[in-house]
Amino acid sequence: MSQHQSVDPFTLFQTWFAEAEAAEPNDPNAMTLATTSLEGAPSARMVLLKGVDTRGFVFYTNLQSRKGGELAANPQAALLFHWKSLRRQVRVEGATEGVSDEEADAYFSSRARISRLGAIASEQSRPLLDRAAFEARVAELDTLYADKPIPRPGHWSGIRVIPKKIEFWQDMPFRLHDRTVFAKTADGWSVTKLYP
């Protein structure tokens, strides 16, 4: 049964995420990002959640990468968090938008120096003929920016997934799982329980 309630799926997500941070041995913020090609073919890869609030779920990437191109052509995405140690998953579906330059600059400047250099040096998702050439480019940039700030490249920024639907899945004995779906409405969120 679906009903309108004054509930906030982001509060539930933050609770589950905090429990995942305490329980998961590696990358509790890892999530599968699914996009589609221009032909409608699905494409998925792991990315890291770098921010979440009531506006949505944020990750950062090279906008010239395959995922960046797919999201530019079709700004819809799905995310999947799977916390095996907790036997939980969260599915998110919605439209995407870029984060502000201020948000991107702040996150970029918080990254490790080598990661910032790598973001400039990498032509993400394009063929790499020689790893040594990539490493040489990183070293060249390290010298170039030895005494000055490393600027965020214009093609590197954040994407926010603005959820229309968030599903919380909890494993239960004998595959009698608990599934709760929050769907965005004009006045908040509707809540529906699903059969396992």
Among 113, 152, 175, 179, the one annotated catalytic: 175
Are 19 and 86 in contact, with CB atoms under 8 Å apart? yes
Compute the Cα dihedral for 54, 80, 98, 47 and give only its sign. Answer: positive
Residue 55 bears catalytic tag: no
C-alpha angle with apex 72: 69 to 75, nearest 5 degrees?
125
Strand partners, 94: 77, 163
| Whether 181 contacts 166, CB under 8 Å | yes
Active site residues: 175
